[in-house]
A and B are shown apart, each in its own frame.
Chain A
């Protein structure tokens, strides 16, 4: 039945020339078998499947990076400008006006090395947390490991962070600060920050799918969280002894402390080890809980989102 009388003949000839990729029909025995069955309870992440979709991870991360700076003049410069502005606010209002800077050699560098890992963490958790609802159409229209959405957001935040570290290196070079051997431990600390961010980001992304309350909780919680991480801008000695004990329960606290110490080659006291140990343990705990919870509810994302 020609649906458009008078036009359909032309259409047919256009389609007659359509390029047809050659068909490859392998024997059915060779084809992989997929079994779809209801799962229940907690289960570990399907690493094999994640690996199969590694190219999608790359493309999604690339998309996040590209999208962030489309139609901007500064482009990737924004990933430097943002932390710089925050650092300046701290330097002016807390450093000079609040007199905390006294006794710290280079307060600007000190704050920069607190703000950068914090921004990395906060951005990862926030973007990772919102990644599922931001990609609702993908979640409801096509299958791929859902974990890739928060992971690719955190991946792109990691790239931003690495760019910003270049800035920190520049500031260090200009101000003549040379790092010590402890610099070699920095990748390890960054990996721990990454894993902690994955834990929170993945956990929140799954919670936000079920209840949007968590989205608002995350939004203003992030601001409170920054104040609960005073090591970004305050030396440990200015904090009371009880607070010193409790603060590492905030997993990013000990990691930021360790990050700066490693970059600047500052002395490690028992306290830094204590803070790193407690924060690191809690961070890994959150990672495990986050991944388990995500896997448990993942199968209903398309229904509940």
Chain B
């Protein structure tokens, strides 16, 4: 059988705007801006050219997908998954390489593509359907099914801005669910909507693969991928790291993520910033300075940060953000916010951020994002995301709590009472 998708050495380069360095006198500033204007005018003719300033968002990626396969694409944020999807769906063009697609491709990079708030449900079905590549005849023949699916028949001629968010998502998904391209690309669409909606999405995707459609699917939910997909592809920093069965790839990804981040050593982590000072270690400790391997819900969180500075740096702002595995930022500590002065001296030094009574839901896995900048001019010294993984566990205080992350990353004491009842 002929392949449905074949990618050969596909690469995509993104150039990054140049940053100003240091202060200048007026002449230099003028000359610099003149040069900038010249470069910008030149870039009007040659946008997106490969230059010194930039990065390869997708780097030499090759793979083949057979018709009817469902493939999960896994990788951290910034691994190049979204860029790969944009290349496949022709939203942007590769810098190098070649992609062959056999059949019509539909891409779902968001729910409600092409929807307009001011238009009615009926108008939006036609507009969105045609933007997603359906012909008028196809929309006509599926119109009733879409309306029925979305359960909006009485609101068909109401502008969607008056819809409840549930109705809106149902209608948007109704259009999507009735698309029938041979290849379907789905990016994180399942991240929105409530649980029944997510279930519908999954059911529909299962049906599509069973009926011979090819599906590429990105999700951060590692339980979903093996259920939906037979094959998996793992990407990291633009490169294709691994191909295999979905279970294998998910397992490898989880192992990699955890071993990568578990070590408190930050020397080798990917980062941005000018590097005059760098975070080199992160460790959670308890009240007696003993290092912790897990975090207990409700405890104080003491985050020890080891910083290596190259020179004396005065008035530095340090921020540590606690985030969940799927990137939700839960809580943070920032020296500038509470006006805690930080001056760095050459060599290593350790700071501790003490967050009091942090109640992250047990069962969650947390990571940290770190940022260090000069308060004076905002120059970023060092910035890292997704480092140092800790599991959150419960003790007798929180035994009764569900570990379901859908119920929120944060917990607090709560109670219910009845306000009124009939009779």
Q: Interface 1/0s, chain B 376-420, versus A by CB < 8 A? A: 000000000000000000000000001010100000000000000
Q: Which of B14, B119, B196 contacts A66 (CB 8 A)?
A: B119
A9 to chain B, nearest CB (A): 11
A270 located at the interface, meaning its Cβ lies under 8 Å from any Cβ of chain B in the complex = no
**In the complex, what residues of B have CB within 8 A of residue A11's CB?**
195-196, 199
Q: Check B203 against A15 for contact (C-beta < 8 Å).
A: yes
B208 to chain A, nearest CB (A): 8
Q: Interface 1/0s, chain A 34-52, versus B by CB < 8 A? A: 1111110000000000000
A237 to chain B, nearest CB (A): 42
C-alpha gap A56/B204 in the complex (Å) = 26
Count of A interface residues, CB-CB < 8 Å:
57
Count of B interface residues, CB-CB < 8 Å:
72
Q: Which of B101-109, B288-296, B356-364 contacts the other chain?
A: B101-109
**Smallest CB gap from A60: residue in B:** B127
Q: Check A1 against B223 for contact (C-beta < 8 Å).
A: yes
B44 located at the interface, meaning its Cβ lies under 8 Å from any Cβ of chain A in the complex = yes
**Smallest CB gap from B135: residue in A:** A55
Q: Which of B155-200 contact A (CB under 8 A)?
A: 159, 178, 180, 182, 195-196, 198-200
A168 located at the interface, meaning its Cβ lies under 8 Å from any Cβ of chain B in the complex = no
Q: Which of B309-352 contact A (CB under 8 A)?
A: none
B34 to chain A, nearest CB (A): 15
B212 located at the interface, meaning its Cβ lies under 8 Å from any Cβ of chain A in the complex = yes
**In the complex, what residues of A have CB within 8 A of residue B114's CB?**
138, 142
C-alpha gap A38/B98 in the complex (Å) = 8
**Smallest CB gap from B2: residue in A:** A28
Q: Check A35 against B89 for contact (C-beta < 8 Å).
A: no
Decide: A36 near B178, CB < 8 A? Known: A63-B127, A304-B47: no
Extra inter-chain contacts (17) besides given A34-B101, A299-B93, CB under 8 Å: A3-B404, A11-B199, A12-B199, A15-B200, A23-B211, A36-B100, A37-B94, A38-B93, A62-B123, A63-B127, A138-B131, A142-B91, A142-B107, A143-B89, A143-B91, A144-B133, A300-B48
User: Taking each of B91, B113, B198, which has the highest tally of chain A beta carbons within 10 Å of its own beta carbon?
Assistant: B91
Q: Interface 1/0s, chain B 74-103, versus A by CB < 8 A? A: 000000000000111111111111111111
Q: Check A7 against B47 for contact (C-beta < 8 Å).
A: no
**In the complex, what residues of B have CB within 8 A of residue A12's CB?**
199
C-alpha gap A62/B109 in the complex (Å) = 24
Q: Interface 1/0s, chain B 2-29, versus A by CB < 8 A? A: 1010000000001000000000000000
**Smallest CB gap from A35: residue in B:** B100
Q: Which of B141-149, B257-265, B275-283, B298-306 contacts the other chain?
A: B141-149
B72 located at the interface, meaning its Cβ lies under 8 Å from any Cβ of chain A in the complex = no
Q: Check B180 against A55 for contact (C-beta < 8 Å).
A: no
C-alpha gap A50/B89 in the complex (Å) = 17
Q: Which of B40, B93, B130, B402 contacts A300 (CB 8 A)?
A: B93
Q: Check B148 against A18 for contact (C-beta < 8 Å).
A: no
**In the complex, what residues of A have CB within 8 A of residue B102's CB?**
28, 31-34
B60 located at the interface, meaning its Cβ lies under 8 Å from any Cβ of chain A in the complex = no
**Smallest CB gap from B145: residue in A:** A19
Q: Check A33 against B100 for contact (C-beta < 8 Å).
A: yes
B375 located at the interface, meaning its Cβ lies under 8 Å from any Cβ of chain A in the complex = no
**In the complex, what residues of A have CB within 8 A of residue B44's CB?**
207, 210-211, 297
Q: Check A63 against B109 for contact (C-beta < 8 Å).
A: no
Q: Check B180 against A67 for contact (C-beta < 8 Å).
A: no
Decide: A36 near B119, CB < 8 A? Known: A142-B132, A302-B86: no
**Smallest CB gap from B11: residue in A:** A38
C-alpha gap A211/B102 in the complex (Å) = 36
**In the complex, what residues of A have CB within 8 A of residue B113's CB?**
137-138, 141-142
Decide: A56 near B180, CB < 8 A? Known: A32-B103, A142-B89: no
Q: Check B109 against A28 for contact (C-beta < 8 Å).
A: no
Q: Check B92 against A303 for contact (C-beta < 8 Å).
A: yes
A278 to chain B, nearest CB (A): 27
17 CB-based A-B contacts, threshold 8 Å: A5-B402, A11-B199, A32-B103, A34-B101, A36-B99, A36-B100, A38-B97, A39-B93, A56-B131, A58-B130, A62-B123, A66-B118, A66-B123, A71-B118, A144-B133, A210-B47, A303-B14
C-alpha gap A14/B199 in the complex (Å) = 10
Q: Which 9 A-B pairs have the closest CB atoms?
A: A23-B211, A31-B103, A299-B93, A25-B212, A300-B48, A36-B99, A143-B90, A300-B47, A34-B101
Q: Check A36 against B93 for contact (C-beta < 8 Å).
A: yes
C-alpha gap A296/B43 in the complex (Å) = 12
**In the complex, what residues of B have CB within 8 A of residue A59's CB?**
126-127, 130-131
B110 to chain A, nearest CB (A): 5
Q: Check B4 against A142 for contact (C-beta < 8 Å).
A: no
Q: Which of B48, B89, B100, B203 contacts A303 (CB 8 A)?
A: B48
B361 to chain A, nearest CB (A): 14
